Structure 1
Amino acid sequence: MTKNAILFVNLGSPKSPELADVKTYLKEFLMDKYVIDAVYPLRWFIVNKLILPKRPKESSAAYKTIWTEDGSPLISISKKFLEKISPTLKDPAYLAMRYQDPSIQIVLSEICKSHPNLKTITLCPMYPHYAMSSVTTVVEKTKNDLKKINPSIQLKIIPPFYNNPKYIASLSRSLTPYLKPNAYVLFSYHGLPERHLMKTDTTGSHCLKVNNCCEVPSDAHKTCYFHQIKQTTALVAQSCQLKEGQFSFACQSRLGKDPWIKPYTDLEIVEIIKKGFKNIVVISPSFVADCLETIEELGDRLRSDWTKNGGESFDLVPCLNTEDHWIENFSDLVKETVS
């Protein structure tokens, strides 16, 4: 008799790279109050009048460059991840996406229907670092949907695993084969508006308000994306014995005119070249599965920018995807939470 089920949730993807499907996806994503955190009327205006008239066309063209016979890389990789990790877990495991299909609501309904005696669901947001636009929105959507379907089921949540030794071990193992003499290592993370850091600061007085806030101990670090990506960078650098001055981190995918956390990936590579480096290795730890942001934004556009600015070799480390060591390590991480 099944008492617990496991639910993995990642971001999601358009149903196809065609303009209409991309527009539908972007509208759902950008209208999320945890993504664009403005009051509804202003958010509606920003999304429908400023972003959607142009952005879907650009995004559709980008998605078409990465679409495969299996569809969206993020979806197909996530499905293969589920197939590989399920046999390692004693509880039944499921996959949902925060936006589009398979939706959280539909998958929760399937779980509850298949296991009428269920007591708990262990929710695994597939994001190593905390952000309201990733972890919070997944948690809140799952809570709200579960309350409608079966409020008696308890929800357990796997916390951000940015400094978990098993995650660090898998990142380090993925990076190591790409390391070579005289190559610079750039850790590129998804960007975040600075206002999000201050909004999720549980102390209300630390993030971006205290000098060297990420280094000064504080309870705010539990929900600070900036602190957590710095920690991941430092731990992987230590594990791989990277030398000071031969690695750094930066943030990509910024949107709009508000200040986002710095440095920016596209500007950081210019500074790296100015330092005399011609060879670069890029790793993207905030993504556990390859997607538009890794394949197209980094693998195509950033690679092109690197060459145009005088760089030579450019190596992009694939995400953890379905690597055996990642499956084993994440399975152990899940089991620790379930137990």
Structure 2
Amino acid sequence: MKKGILLVNLGSPDSPTPKDVKKYLGEFLMDERVIDIPYIARTALVKGIILKTRPKQSAAAYKKIWWDEGSPLIVLSERLQNKVQKQVDVPIALAMRYGSMTIKKGLQELVDKGVDEVLLFPLYPQFAMATTETITVLAEELRQEHFPNLKIESVPAFYNKPDYIEVLSNSIKKHLEGKNYEHLLFSYHGVPERHIKKSDVTKSHCKPSDKVECLCCKTPSKAHEYCYKHQCKEVTRLVAEALNLEENTFSTSFQSRLGFDPWLQPYTDRTIERLGKQGIKNMAIVTPAFVSDCLETLEEIAMEGQEIFHEMGGKDFTTVPCLNDDDEWVALLAKWINQWSKASVETV
């Protein structure tokens, strides 16, 4: 069998115009694993409310971060693909879960090259319904409908792999070298609390609303394999150990909440506000739920977060870039891919 790799990231509108942003948001928000409410209610919410106001606001945000080459997320993902391809012997295609660079196109590209066994590689360190799961589910649907002779295997969450933690820690250390920061905030993409409960394979372990001391995240369980909150907290813990961070000089928060339902807490914007009010003058922030910089990291965190911090009396606000096409990250991906191409997905 000829093997190939399909890297999959989130996606982006084709341009920072309200028309293209509306099309993109419509596909994204109508995904039942993103807004997981009944179809009729989801349609009323997305098409009846959100898409009437949000596209113009989001387009303005995209314009702030758009590069001459195009969407930063797309450009950075393509750079990553190209650099990894030079270090592996199997073909690599790139796709997005939402937008015009579809997973179907990515699979077709590999099939056209003679590939009949694909390693599906969601570019998310942690598992979540709205990221990893929606990619794997759609890929299987496409396989059954369009590529019945194709074998697809998926890379599991790699949040706690020692070599990944080493690469992430080295990147953070490199970008903070010489910075006199008082607090390092690990900000992860937020999800509704109900997503954590739905992903709990034990149906009894996860208690996402336990905000003071999340004992379930610290108690070993099969649920952790699919618990986004646990996996985020574990990344923070492991990186803090690798960097020898002192207690109370770092913390975890969750960004980008939508709507009025309870989401994972503490919220990033309120945490930045609190740190400023507490007298922190120099802080740094890293976003380990993403491997590529995007609207959420470049606009919501680097721009809006900095503005909040300054309003609260903060001085220096340092944002650590995502791994993007960092050479160590490229080498690690290439190593995992080469291991798989010579064996099986379990070695990744």
TM-score range normalised by the length of the shorter chain: over 0.9
| TM score, norm. by length of structure 2 | 0.94
Q: Establish whether residue 149 from structure 1 lines up as the match of residue 146 from structure 2.
A: yes
Deviations 1:70-98 (A, max 9, x none): 01000011011111000111211000000
Structure 1 counterpart of 2:266, from 263, 268, 274: 263
Structure 2 partner of 1:63: 62
Structure 1 position 181, deviation (Å): 4.4
Structure 1 partner of 2:346: none
The answer on whether the counterparts of 2:8 and 2:97 sit within 8 Å (CA) in structure 1 is yes
Structure 1 partner of 2:163: 166
Structure 1 counterpart of 2:137, from 137, 140, 148: 140
Runs of 5+ in structure 1 lacking a partner?
Answer: none
Structure 1 position 182, deviation (Å): 4.9
Structure 2 counterpart of 1:272, from 270, 275, 280: 275
Structure 1 residues 188-197 or 49-58, which shifts more? 49-58
Structure 1 counterpart of 2:244, from 215, 219, 241: 241
The answer on whether the counterparts of 1:166 and 1:333 sit within 8 Å (CA) in structure 2 is no
Structure 2 partner of 1:327: 330
- Measure the CA separation in 1 of the matches of 2:149 and 2:216: 40
- Measure the CA separation in 2 of the matches of 1:7 and 1:155: 10
Structure 1 position 333, deviation (Å): 2.5
Task: Tell me which stretches of 4 or more aligned residues in structure 1 moved more than 6 Å.
Answer: none
Structure 1 partner of 2:311: 308
Q: 1:91-240 alignment to 2 at 5 Å?
A: 91-115=90-114, 118-177=115-174, 178-179=176-177, 180-208=179-207, 212-240=215-243
Question: Would the alpha carbon gap of residues 182 and 19 (structure 1) be closer, same or farther in structure 2, given more than 3 Å must change?
Answer: closer
- Measure the CA separation in 2 of the matches of 1:48 and 1:150: 32
Structure 1 partner of 2:84: 85
Runs of 5+ in structure 2 lacking a partner?
Answer: 344-348
- Measure the CA separation in 1 of the matches of 2:288 and 2:302: 15
Tell me the number of residue pairs that the alignment of Structure 1 and Structure 2 aligns: 336
The DSSP-based 3-state class of the residue aligned with 1:332 is: helix
The DSSP-based 3-state class of the residue aligned with 1:314 is: strand
Deviations 1:233-266 (A, max 9, x none): 0011110111000000100000000000000000
The answer on whether the counterparts of 1:158 and 1:334 sit within 8 Å (CA) in structure 2 is no
The DSSP-based 3-state class of the residue aligned with 2:201 is: coil
The answer on whether the counterparts of 2:163 and 2:332 sit within 8 Å (CA) in structure 1 is yes
- Measure the CA separation in 2 of the matches of 1:166 and 1:79: 23
Structure 1 residues 174-183 or 294-303, which shifts more? 174-183
Deviations 1:162-201 (A, max 9, x none): 1111221121111113154452100011001000000110
The answer on whether the counterparts of 1:19 and 1:57 sit within 8 Å (CA) in structure 2 is yes
Deviations 1:128-161 (A, max 9, x none): 0000100000001111112222212211111111
Structure 1 position 270, deviation (Å): 2.3
The DSSP-based 3-state class of the residue aligned with 2:318 is: strand
